[in-house]
Structure 1
Amino acid sequence: MCGFVGFTAVDFDRETNKAVVKDMADRIAHRGPDDEGFFVDDDIAMGFRRLSIIDLEGSRQPMQNADGTVTVTFNGEIYNFQELRAELEALGYVFVTNGDTETIVHGYEAWGTDVFEKLRGMFAIAIWDAPKKRLVCARDLFGIKPFYYQHDGNRLIYGSEIKAFLAHPAFAKELNREMLPQYLCFEYMNDSQTMFKDVHKLLPGHFMVFEDGALNIECFYHITYKIDESKGLDEWADEINRVFDESVAAHEIADVEIGSFLSGGIDSSLAAYCMGQHAPDIKTFSVGYDIGCEDKLAEIDALPDFDIKLNELDDATAFAEWAQLPNFQTQVSAEEFLDIVPTEQYHMDEPLGAPSAIPLFFVSKLAREQVKVVQSGEGADELFGGYWIYHDQFEFDKYFKVPRPLRAAAGAVAEKLPPFHGRRFAMRGSGGPEKSYQRASMNYMWDEIPNVLKDYAGPCKPWEWCKPHFDEAAKQDLDIITQTQYVDMVSYMPFDICLKADKMSMSQSLELRVPFLDKKVLDVALQLPTACRVDDDHAKYALRVAASKLGFQKKVANMPKQPFITPLTVWLQTDLYYDRIKEAFTSEAAHEFFNVDYLVQMLDDHKSADFSTVEGRGKLKMMRIWNIYCFLCWYEVFFGKSSEQLKPKTKVA
């Protein structure tokens, strides 16, 4: 795991380019504290930071072929590099290192851009083809590893993190204000665009070619379902166990010690268990909270009709004891959680309103004290149907049998009425599946955006951002549940789940590997019948049966889906959080973007909300509040007074 930066050298002389690319690489030193490397000529500057995992003494980057015509920087791991190496050696290529990077070098020589679809692993790659003066870049099919770029005429700036771009004197930093409504709805950027104007993400499963100032982007992998109804639930569970265990083993390839995150839920527990079968002393790492607020917690615990789980360390401890795995834990206090937000947003590069990023930060910090690499359970929900949104789609599937004009009329009426039970359902059901699509984390419904944003003309139509994905899924003749999973896999997973997993782990110089997000595991997931993924009573049905077959306790195998838990709902009622967030909500930046009175009213409503009544709980606005607070912290880091320290160090004429 590493990080890289680069740019086509059109602005300055070679010595200046060396200084600029060094400054850019220094901005992402946390991604690779073990080594650095550079390649600079008249056409391109490439920089690299290395976290040494495989072939510790060799495999330095940028790496070149024998005659220097191909130069590669690569972030990630290729798990089938040994098989590809044997194939390339049979073609006559000679290897001088023992790592996976050289497989990409010679793979590009042998197969050109076809090499990308041969790779099994997580990767972002930049290849300089000197004879053709061509830059070729690619990103893995899941979007596990980040890749950003800005194209401006003959100049292309690219890298693992946007903050590196700020070190380039020709980079014009500008807020992409048009993305703010989308961020408020989804809590992340549901698009190739970012909150920095003209800075884009290379989409998962795509490669791009930059040559003679022109940028061309192509897809090398399409997610395509091939449902196989010939096997029963038990057969699919056995197949999942077989392929996942093999994936975990492949993800264990390293020349350093590897550990595992462990939340106590089924996904991370499966990863840790399989690792433990291969290496019994594998270390596991868990995060929980020093919540405080004892009076409030006692009040909540006494409520017969309100079940809110605020800590998962007990589950992690119980599973680790059952599986006989060493478990190391850390607890985060309310003050630590709040204090780290600016640092979290700095490392994210893009504003992210998901509270779950913060426990990821702290558990990564804990793990890095003992290991360089961990495995984790990201991706299981998207591949195997773990979210309760998929159950919602059962109901919408029935509702869609009502003629669309009637549904549209009901939705239009509901939108004009005050909140009532069923209002959101009527609004979401007024169109096609792209309108019913609603993440549990979708903070603001579209009708709320004009209330939140200052001078917003609207209308806000978040479903239009999802419609192209649903249109693509519809071409495969999929049911609405599978369509929704497809959309999650191509949007929510890369733009939220994978992004925060990478950025939070790499902030601590920790490589995070995700064995569920593997080509062979995906091949099985894409064959599963819907009934083996989701039914009226189960989510991740086949995966849970698979865990039961391994002997998992029912409590773990049947544990309902939990988000990465945080006590924010309770903490936001404390003076510490109220005062800090109110200061942000009444700041100069808040006045620039938001209707401040609306923000403060939300904050007041949440602070005074009574957990003991349904009406009181209706005033809890944790996700809405946190979403905006995170944006304001991000804005201060990158555009406020704090951003002065991010200006370029290299002086140019």
Structure 2
Amino acid sequence: MCGIAGKVHTDRTRPVEGSLLRRMTAALAHRGPDDEQFYVENGVGLGIRRLAIIDLQGGRQPMTNEDKSLWVVFNGEIYNFPELRRRLLAAGHVLSTRSDTEVILHLYEDLGIGCLAELRGMFAIALWDAPRERLVLARDRLGKKPLVYAGLPEGLAFASELGALLADPSVRREIDPEALDAYLRCQSIPSPRTIYTGVRKLPPAHALVWEKGAARVERYWSFRFGPKTAAPAPEIRERIRDLLDESVRLRLESDVPLGVLLSGGIDSTAVAALVARHLDRPVQTFSVGFEETGVSELPEARRMAARIGALHHEAVVKLDVAEVLPLLARHYGEPFADKSAVPTYCVTRMAGRALKVVLSGDGGDEAFAGYPRYLPSQMHLLTGWIPAAARRRLAEPALRGALSLRSGRLRGRLFRRWLEAMAPPAKSLLFPEFFPGYRLASLYHERIRRAVDAAWDEEILRRWRGLPADLDDLDAALALDYGLYLPETLLAKMDIASMANSLEVRSPFLDHVLLEYAATIPGGLKVAGGIGKAVLRDAVADLLPPEILHGPKRGFSAPVGAWLRGPLRTYAEDLLLLGPRGLPEFFRPEAVRALWEAHQAGRKNHAMRLWTLLVFEVWFRTWMDGGGTGDSHVA
């Protein structure tokens, strides 16, 4: 696992400054504390900070091929590289290391960009093809590894994180109002946007090809829900178990020790149990909880660790949130308000002090329909007889209304009831929307409201209309989550929080082979008897104790409401009301105050809205105020 950065100039006689590359990679030191290397030649510069995990000596980057025509820097892990390596050797390639990086180079020699389809794993790749004067950037299918870039007058710059890209003074720091609007809606900024105008995220499953000053972005893989398998349920359960076990086994390839992030839920406990079966030593597990009642899963995690004979580490978080927020702002590089980023940072910090690699249970809910929003509502039971495609067409006016509503909470509730009845998948688009249209209309300054107009509404409608007509409601909801919540919130949160602590996180449930099979499983096996992940529960039943197998879903979260009324109150009040620096440029102070007062008086629960605004203010002070070096200006 690594952090990569680089720049290419249209004028090949103009050198990329080594000092610039060093500034960029210095901003990525947490992603790769083990090594720092560069390639600079003829208007091209590649840099890397390496976290050495596989082939500790031979895997150094940037790496080149025999004639030095190709150079690559790579962040991630290719889990099927041993198989690919054997294939390349049989075809006559000469390989001098045991690293997955070298496999990428030689696959590209044979297949060009088509090599991406052969890779099973997580990756962000930058490859310089000197004979063609071509830079190829690529990101893995689901978006586990981040990659951002900026087209500049002199060429193109890229990096693993925004903070490294912003080390280039050519990259402008101008806030994109439409990206800000998207952030307020769903607490993160979906690709390809970033908070900065002119800076883009490469979307998952895409490659960017830059040649002689021109760039094109193209998709190399699409997730599809194919025909449903007619196999009997026992055979499906066995196939799930085999694929999950294979996925875990592949992710145990490492030249350094590894462990498991253990939450106490079904997904991470199943992963931990399978890891324990493959290792010849006790697996290390890591869990965190909060003192507030109902948030901690520590007892379940503790029991599971004892069941598999793990060396268990746990902590009850008593952190100073006011101290952690600026750290998170510095690493994310843009506003990111998913509240579970705090416990995720805490548990990965604990694990990162002991290990370089852990496995997690991320992806189980998306693969096997574990979220409550996947369950049909009572309203939908009245309309389920109407074909899904017809209901989605009838629901679009309600979806448009629910998104663009500028006033009237009653009308908003009516629109949402209509959506519950006609199109349950819409919940996957609207569930994170903590600021509905009517609240944003009263929160924004008029010039900001005009600037954002209906951009987010149109983005959501574009995703809605892009659903294949033959998908049933459950597959449509899953497809929307694969395209929005999973990459833009869940995976972004985990990568940045873990790599801030120099920790690689591997997710067996996000293996694309497993996901493609899960997409063929009938929805009635995933959601059965009002319970999500039913078929997965059956597939791993022998691994888990009954209290975990049949326990309620709690999620991995943080007690934001209690923080804002307790230990975080003075800090938040100072930043939101008494001395804000970024908020007044975009939001009406009296509207922010009204949210605060209603929440503190207990009249309304505005915890997540206030948290979202607080995270924005902390980010603004960290990156935009006082020079924006990424150093905290929070006082």
Report deviation, 1:419. Answer: 5.0
Alignment of 1:254-403 (within 5 A): 254-279=254-279, 280-291=281-292, 309-333=294-318, 335-392=319-376, 395-396=379-380, 398-399=382-383
Aligned to 2:463, which of 469, 480, 488?
A: 469
Cα offset for 1:442? Answer: 2.1
Partners of 1:112 and 1:438 in 2: how far apart?
36
Deviations 1:361-414 (A, max 9, x none): 111111112111000011111111111111256845755858949975996899
Shift of the 436–399 alpha-carbon distance from structure 1 to 2, 3 Å rule, reads: farther
Counterpart residue number, 1:81: 81
2:489 aligned residue:
496
The residue that corresponds to 1:538 in the other structure is 531
Deviation larger for 46-55 or 189-198: 189-198
Shift in Å, 1:346: 1.3
How far off is 1:472 after superposition? Answer: 3.0
Match of 2:551 in 1: 559
Q: Report how far residue 526 of structure 1 moved.
A: 1.3
What is residue 232 of structure 2 aligned with on the other side?
232
Match of residue 578, structure 1, among 569, 573, 582 = 569
CA–CA separation in structure 2 for the residues paired with 1:406 and 1:638? 39
In structure 2, the partner of 1:425 is 416
Are residues 471 and 364 of structure 1, via their aligned partners in 2, closer, same or farther at CA, if it must alter by over 3 Å? same
Q: Are 2:212 and 1:192 equivalent residues in the alignment?
A: no
Look up the SS of the partner of 1:516 in the other structure.
Answer: helix
Q: Which residue of 2 aligns with 1:208?
A: 208
Distance 2:491 2:271 in 1: 17
Q: Give the match for residue 591 of structure 1.
A: 584
The answer to whether the Cα contact below 8 Å between 2:330 and 2:630 also exists between their aligned partners in 1 is no
Instruction: Tell me how far 1:14 sits from its aligned partner.
Output: 6.7
The DSSP-based 3-state class of the residue aligned with 2:628 is: helix
Report the number of matched residues. 619
Q: CA deviation at 1:429?
A: 5.6
- The structural deviation recorded for 1:322 is 2.3
Inter-CA distance 432–262: structure 2 relative to 1 (3 Å threshold): closer
The one-letter code sitting in structure 1 at the alignment partner of 2:86 is A
Q: 2:605 aligns with which of 617, 620, 623?
A: 620
Give the whole-Å Cα distance in 2 for the aligned partners of 1:322 and 1:454.
56
Mapping for residues 11-30 of structure 1, pairs under 5 Å: 17-30=17-30
* Residue among 441, 454, 462 paired with 1:450: 441
Task: Go from structure 1 to structure 2 and tell me whether the alpha carbon gap of 1:149 and 1:393 turns closer, same or farther (over 3 Å shift).
Answer: farther
Q: Where does residue 122 of structure 2 map in the other structure?
A: 122
Instruction: Pick closer, same or farther for the CA change 1:490–1:404 going to 2, 3 Å.
Output: closer
The alpha-carbon distance between structure 1 residues 424 and 321, as it changes in their structure 2 partners (threshold 3 A), is farther
Deviations 1:595-628 (A, max 9, x none): 222222222222232xxxxxx5xx1222111111
Distance 1:31 1:408 in 2: 44
TM-score, length-normalised on structure 2? Answer: 0.92
**1:490 to partner: Cα distance:** 1.4
1:529 equivalent in structure 2: 522
Question: 1:560, CA displacement in angstroms?
Answer: 2.6
For residue 258 of structure 1, report the CA deviation from its aligned partner: 0.4
1:639 alignment partner AA: M
**1:234/1:558 CA distance change after superposition, 3 Å:** farther
Residue 165 of structure 1: how far off its partner (Å): 1.5
Quick one: structure 1 residues 536 and 446, their matched pair in 2 at CA, closer, same or farther if it must change by over 3 Å?
Answer: farther
1:27-54: CA deviation from partner (whole Å, max 9, x where unpaired): 1011000001100012211101100000
- How far the C-alpha of 1:421 sits from its partner, in A, is 11
C-alpha separation in 2, matches of 1:533 and 1:431: 21
**Cα offset for 1:200?**
0.8
Secondary structure of 2:30's counterpart equals helix
Identity rate of aligned residues, in percent? 32
Q: In 2, distance between residues paired with 1:507 and 1:267?
A: 24
CA–CA distance in structure 2, aligned partners of residues 87 and 363 of structure 1: 39
Higher mean alpha-carbon deviation, 320-329 vs 432-441, is at 432-441
Provide the rounded CA distance (Å) in 2 between the counterparts of 1:427 and 1:97.
Answer: 59
SS of the counterpart of 2:88?
helix
Letter of the 1:530 partner, please give it: G
Q: Structure 1 CA distance, aligned partners of 2:136 and 2:382?
A: 47
- Could you tell me how far apart the structure 1 residues matched to 2:70 and 2:486 are? 32
Mapped to 1, the partners of 2:105 and 2:395 lie a distance apart of 57
Supply the distance in 2 between the matched residues of 1:513 and 1:113 (Cα, whole angstroms): 24
Residue deviations 1:530-583 (CA, integer Å, cap 9, x gap): 1122245111111111121x2422221122322212122222211x32221121
CA distance in 1, matches of 2:276, 2:515: 23
Residues 166 and 646 in structure 1, CA contact (< 8 A), matched pair in contact too:
no
Distance (whole Å) between structure 2 residues aligned to residue 501 and residue 406 of structure 1: 33
Distance in 2 between residues matched to 1:325 and 1:541, nearest whole Å: 27
Q: Secondary structure at the match of 2:270?
A: helix
> Which moved further from structure 2: 436-445 or 354-363?
436-445
Which deviations, in whole Å up to 9, do the C-alpha atoms of 1:266-307 show, x marking residues without a partner? 11111111101112501000011244xxxxx6xxxxxxxxxx
Q: For residue 506 of structure 1, what is the aligned residue in structure 2? A: 499
Q: For residues 508 and 177 of structure 1, do their structure 2 counterparts lie closer, same or farther at Cα, with a shift above 3 Å needed?
A: same
Deviation at 1:482, TM superposition (A): 0.8
Q: What is the one-letter code of the residue matched to 1:580? A: Y
- Contact kept in structure 2, 1:433 and 1:470, CA below 8 Å: no
Indicate how the Cα distance of structure 1 residues 434 and 553 shifts in structure 2: closer, same or farther if over 3 A, else same: closer
Conservation of the 8 A alpha-carbon contact between 1:122 and 1:140:
yes
Aligned pair in 2 of structure 1 residues 486, 410: CA closer, same or farther (>3 Å)? closer
**Deviation of residue 55 (structure 1)?**
0.4
Q: Aligned partners of 1:414 and 1:30: how far apart in 2?
A: 43
Aligned to 1:600: 593
CA distance in 1, matches of 2:62, 2:520: 39
The alpha-carbon distance between structure 1 residues 571 and 646, as it changes in their structure 2 partners (threshold 3 A), is closer
TM-score calculated relative to the size of structure 1: 0.89
CA contact (8 A) 1:434 1:464 kept: no
User: What is the alpha-carbon root mean square deviation over aligned residues?
Assistant: 2.7
Which stretch shows the higher mean deviation, 219-228 or 247-256? 219-228
Residue 303 of structure 1: aligned partner = none
Instruction: Give SS of 2:286's match.
Output: strand
Q: Structure 2 vs 1, CA of residues 9 and 417 (structure 1 numbering), >3 Å: closer, same or farther?
A: closer
Structure 1 runs not aligned, ≥5 long: 292-296, 298-308, 610-615, 648-653
